[in-house]
Amino acid sequence: MATHRASIKQALFAQGDLARRREHCSADPQTLAAIGCDVGQQVRIMRNDDEYGGGTYCLRVAT
């Protein structure tokens, strides 16, 4: 499984659909390419290397 260090932020005001669908997220195209993912796929968010405390999200928008 590919990993990539990232930060988690609230949806932008213009991304109201993401704010309403908490199981969805967005990422920039360069990050998606670095981990071999694309819009429509799911990603697992982990807090750190040994703690699964995030969740699984569906990539909806590449911003």
For residue 5, the model assigns a pLDDT of 79
For residue 1, the model assigns a pLDDT of 66
Residue 25: exposure state from Cβ atoms within 10 A (0-12, 13-18, ≥19): buried
For residue 33, the model assigns a pLDDT of 87
The sign of the torsion formed by the CA atoms of 51, 21, 26, 9 equals negative
Question: Which percentage of the chain shows pLDDT scores above 90?
Answer: 0
